[in-house]
Amino acid sequence: MVAPPDSAPPDDDVLWARSLHYSHSGSPGLIGVGAAVRQGEILAVTGPRGSGKTTLLRCLAGRLVPDQGEVRFDGIAVHTLGALARERLFRARFAWIGPEPQLLPELKVWENAALPLLLTGAPHRAARAAAHEWLERLDIGGFAGKRPGALNRAESQRVALARALAGEPAVLFADEPTAPLHRAERALLLRTLTTAARSHAITVVLATHDEETAAAADRDLALLDGRPADAAAVVSPGTTEDQAACSLSA
Ligand SMILES: Nc1ncnc2c1ncn2[C@@H]1O[C@H](COP(=O)(O)OP(=O)(O)OP(=O)(O)O)[C@@H](O)[C@H]1O
């Protein structure tokens, strides 16, 4: 479990968060959660369904603004940025892969992989080269000229991974990326993800409820009911959320 201090983030943490609270229209999603991850590290965010993993990843990525607490990336106070600045930051420095590949069926596989680069204004030739390079690296170069409809789920998910990595993001947020796959495919995708991230010093924040998947990470942050699991265990039924949050930053 990662327990960041109350003060400024340590210099070696590329992504750092403290005392995050977030509620989804009044229902608690996060209650006093902190996180810290160094450049090139893989942080697993674990916990059962509904424990707040996705909400935490979305706060860290600037997709959600926490109700309380702070998120810092590379010296930038992400929680203070406006919507446009957060969108720009996300496109320039982050990438996201979820459980569904969400490829565009009308585009070829390489065009899908190149899309985020093209959307950030990269020259067409460079985006195409990067897409092909990552498809090759992930052993799906042979599908580059095909449409996503010709691929099975595991192959499609690898294309989604190539799309996420083609821009060589500083941080890859991976939200249950292996969840819909069979065991052997899960292991292969995970190995591909971790090898690629480590060889390119890409930081990964990996949400998973699967212990085997979490074992591939350098560090583990376990959540339960929106709280760090170790704190959730000591929160008695009468404890208020504020009391629980204070106990986390002690
Ligand atoms: N858009 C939303 N509106 C209302 N409640 C939400 C919303 N998104 C999440 N929640 C609630 O917030 C809590 C945390 O959800 P979250 O998706 O972050 O958990 P999770 O650990 O990622 O779960 P899963 O593994 O099922 O994706 C849950 O109780 C969930 O029902």
Residue 3 lies in a domain: no
Does ligand 1 come within 6 angstroms of the Cβ of 25? yes
Residue 232 lies in a domain: yes
Q: What distance in Å separates the CA atoms of residue 91 and residue 93, rounded to the nearest whole number?
A: 6
Cα 209 to ligand 1 centroid, rounded to whole Å: 13
pTM above 0.95, yes or no: no
Which residue, chain included where needed, has tokens 């949400």? 207
Return the ligand 1 atom nearest residue 30 CA.
Answer: 14
Residue 92 lies in a domain: yes
Q: What distance in Å separates the CA atoms of residue 138 and residue 136, rounded to the nearest whole number?
A: 5
Q: What distance in Å separates the CA atoms of residue 141 and residue 211, rounded to the nearest whole number?
A: 30
Helices 124-137 and 109-119 meet at what angle, rounded to 10? Answer: 130
Does ligand 1 come within 6 angstroms of the Cβ of 63? no
Residue 1 lies in a domain: no
Per-residue pLDDT, 181? 87
User: Residues, the chain, total?
Assistant: 250
Domain that holds residue 158: 13-248
Does ligand 1 come within 6 angstroms of the Cβ of 53? yes
Can you read off the two tokens belonging to residue 240?
A: 């208020």
Can you name the residues that pair with 94 across neighbouring β-strands? 171
Q: Where are the alpha helices (DSSP H) in 35-82?
A: 53-60
Per-residue pLDDT, 163? 96
Domain containing 132 — which CATH number?
Answer: 3.40.50.300
Residue 152 lies in a domain: yes
Return the ligand 1 atom nearest residue 223 CA.
Answer: 21
Name the amino acid, one letter, at 115: L
Residue 79 lies in a domain: yes
Cα 79 to ligand 1 centroid, rounded to whole Å: 20
ipTM reported for the complex, 2 dp: 0.94
Cα 227 to ligand 1 centroid, rounded to whole Å: 13
pLDDT per residue as tens digits for the range 10-63: 667 899 999 999 999 988 899 999 999 999 999 999 999 999 999 999 999 999
Residue nearest to atom 1 of ligand 1 (CA): 24
Residue 59 lies in a domain: yes
**H-helix or E-strand containing 43?**
strand 42-46
Name the amino acid, one letter, at 206: L
pLDDT per residue as tens digits for the range 176-206: 998 888 888 888 889 889 998 899 999 999 9
Per-residue pLDDT, 230? 82
CA angle 26, 30, 35 (to 5 degrees): 160
Looking at the structure of the chain, the number of domains it has is: 1
DSSP string, 71-121: EEETTEEGGGS-HHHHHHHHHHHEEEE-SS----TTS-HHHHHHHHHHHTT
Q: Residue 250 pLDDT > 80, yes or no?
A: no
Residue 5 lies in a domain: no
Could you tell me if 79 and 66 are in contact, meaning their C-beta atoms sit under 8 angstroms apart? yes
Distance of CA 92 to the CA centre of its chain: 15
Mean pLDDT within 101-107: 96
Return the ligand 1 atom nearest residue 47 CA.
Answer: 21
Residue nearest to atom 7 of ligand 1 (CA): 24
Can you read off the two tokens belonging to residue 44?
A: 């697993």
Return the ligand 1 atom nearest residue 57 CA.
Answer: 18
How far lies 196's CA from each of 139, 166, 189, 231, 244, in Å? 12, 11, 10, 34, 38
